[in-house]
Amino acid sequence: MSTAKLSLNGQEYEFPVIEGSEHEVAIDFTKLRAQTGAISYDPGYGNTGSCKSAITFIDGEKGILRYRGYPIEQLAEHSNFVEVCYLTIYGKLPSAAELAAFQKSLTYHTLIHEDMKKFFEGFPPTAHPMAIMSAMTVSLSAYYPDLLDPEVVDLNIARLLAKAKTLAAFAYKKSIGQPYIYPRNDLNYTEDFLHMMFAVPAEPYKVSPVIARALDLLLILHADHEQNCSTSTVRMVGSSQANLFASIASGISALWGPLHGGANQEVINMLEMIHRDGGDYKKYMDMAKDKESGFRLMGFGHRVYKNFDPRARILKKAADDVLDELGVNDPLLGIAKNLEEIALADSYFVERKLYPNVDFYSGIIYRALGIPTDMFTVMFVLGRMPGWIAQWKEMREDPATRINRPRQVYSGATERDYTPVTSR
């Protein structure tokens, strides 16, 4: 094993170097403070490995994304979301019997406790569905005790995956004042979600196979993305041994921000704004380059991908196919493509390696499927659920897990004496 040498205040220290299965190199600083008295300073954690993980591999320079070793392109073309859930969580592709049992479990745990409907009633009609989603997810822990017994863990995992789509659809129905539509056991995962979203009691609802397949693809592409903001949050909260539902609810809150999962909603808001403004996308490109404007090209840039985001490539093609198949002519798609084209040739974006990310085209597909803008980030929650669960499970099962507790470099006042208010 090789080592890394650090020289600090004239003294030399050696630290082990570890290598991942794809040959990524890391200096093991576990003993850094104990040996040197110093800590590492890395705001935003861009250089910090917080764990070892066998779930997802990303090579941001080459635009590679694999779940459990399987390339995202192959999974997107040949797999389905439920199988990808199993794969990410349990580490292997299921046999036909395992897949059938897993599918059945996800089908038979979709109902939420009837009392929980009262929680929905308490929210104002204007409530953002992400607020409801996060609150409802943590509330599940009030109904399903968290035990370390692996069978209970598996049961709670199935419950969470199954109920998440019911919670999401109920949140939408609440926002538009329609009655909740109960899940159906004869439909698959995505079909059942679409049914709960769009059916009304007055007439039968037939799920479009084109829409169901497109949604399934979107969910697959979002299933995991290693140690991003929301996943690290799930691990951070889970490291205190908080239960599955509480840990995942915290991930949902982290995902909500516009720099993370909230970006898909922001992309559509931005494209609509450009459209209303006569489609003058060049003006917005200039604004994005002008730091004073405070405007960013939403759906562009990524902490990890520096050449292209493979998910964005798949979605760009899917946007064309889905809109074609559904006969939707969305002017926002044209604006998005124009923005992408000029950004990819513009030195500001080229120098900073800013490329379209997964959120750039996903919103256009969601719109074509009839999913309202407010629900886009909730769709991301459904997609990311297996990844969060897999990461939480891996963290809980890893004997090396300690409660996450970063350090800081204190930059505040040094010791000073308190003066009572009367003498100030």
Residue positions annotated with a catalytic role:
302, 359
Is position 301 an interface residue for ligand ACO (rule: CB under 6 A)? Answer: yes
Which residues are within 8 A (CB) of 205 and not within 5 positions of it... i.e. 6 or more apart? Answer: 195, 198, 199
CB of 73 to ligand ACO, least distance (A): 18
CB of 161 to ligand ACO, least distance (A): 20
**Candidate segments 27-35, 179-187, 291-299, 370-378, binder of ligand ACO by CB under 6 A:** 291-299
Is position 296 an interface residue for ligand ACO (rule: CB under 6 A)? Answer: yes
For residue 3, report the phi and psi dihedrals to the nearest 5 degrees: -130, 160
**Candidate segments 47-55, 65-73, 299-307, 331-339, binder of ligand ACO by CB under 6 A:** 299-307
Count of alpha carbons within 13 Å of 173, Cβ hemisphere only? 23
CB of 265 to ligand ACO, least distance (A): 11
Separation of alpha carbons 275 and 331, rounded Å: 8
Answer for which of 245, 300, 366, 392 binds ligand ACO (CB under 6 A) is 300
Answer for which of 171, 298, 314, 336 binds ligand ACO (CB under 6 A) is 298
Return the number of the residue (57 or 144) whose C-beta is nearest ligand ACO: 57
CA 410 to chain centre: 32
Is position 288 an interface residue for ligand ACO (rule: CB under 6 A)? Answer: yes
Return the number of the residue (175 or 265) whose C-beta is nearest ligand ACO: 265
Answer for which of 110, 357, 377, 391 binds ligand ACO (CB under 6 A) is 357
Which x/- pattern, by CB under 6 A, does the window 226-265 give for ligand ACO?
Answer: ---------------------------------xxx-x--
Is position 310 an interface residue for ligand ACO (rule: CB under 6 A)? Answer: no
Separation of alpha carbons 40 and 292, rounded Å: 32
CB of 297 to ligand ACO, least distance (A): 4
| DSSP-derived secondary structure for 366-382 | HHHHT--GGGHHHHHHH
| DSSP-derived secondary structure for 267-328 | HHHHHHHHHHTTS-HHHHHHHHH-GGG----TTB--SS-SS--HHHHHHHHHHHHHHHHHT-
Is position 224 an interface residue for ligand ACO (rule: CB under 6 A)? Answer: no
Contact yes or no for 119/135 (Cβ under 8 A): yes
Return the number of the residue (63 or 301) whose C-beta is nearest ligand ACO: 301
Separation of alpha carbons 289 and 287, rounded Å: 5
Is position 299 an interface residue for ligand ACO (rule: CB under 6 A)? Answer: yes
Is position 311 an interface residue for ligand ACO (rule: CB under 6 A)? Answer: no
Return the number of the residue (163 or 316) whose C-beta is nearest ligand ACO: 316
Number of residues that bind ligand ACO (CB under 6 A): 18
Interface with ligand ACO in residues 40-79 (CB under 6 A)? none
Which residues are within 8 A (CB) of 334 and not within 5 positions of it... i.e. 6 or more apart? Answer: none
Q: How many of the other CB atoms lie within 10 Å of CB of 23?
A: 6
Return the number of the residue (140 or 332) whose C-beta is nearest ligand ACO: 332
Is position 297 an interface residue for ligand ACO (rule: CB under 6 A)? Answer: yes
Radius of gyration of the chain (CA): 23
Separation of alpha carbons 269 and 257, rounded Å: 14
Q: Pinpoint the alpha helices (H) of 123-243.
A: 129-139, 150-176, 189-198, 209-221, 229-238
CA 374 to chain centre: 16
Return the number of the residue (183 or 299) whose C-beta is nearest ligand ACO: 299
> What pairs with residue 11 in β-bridges?
8
Answer for which of 83, 216, 359, 394 binds ligand ACO (CB under 6 A) is 359
Is position 358 an interface residue for ligand ACO (rule: CB under 6 A)? Answer: yes
- From the list 397, 404, 233, 267, the residue with the least C-alpha distance to 339 is 267
Long-range contacts of 21-28 (CB under 8 A, 24+ apart): 21/54, 22/57, 22/59
Is position 218 an interface residue for ligand ACO (rule: CB under 6 A)? Answer: no
Residue showing the smallest CB distance to ligand ACO in the complex:
301
Which x/- pattern, by CB under 6 A, does the window 336-355 give for ligand ACO?
Answer: ----------------x-x-
Q: Rule CB under 6 A: which residues touch ligand ACO?
A: 259-261, 263, 288, 296-303, 352, 354, 357-359
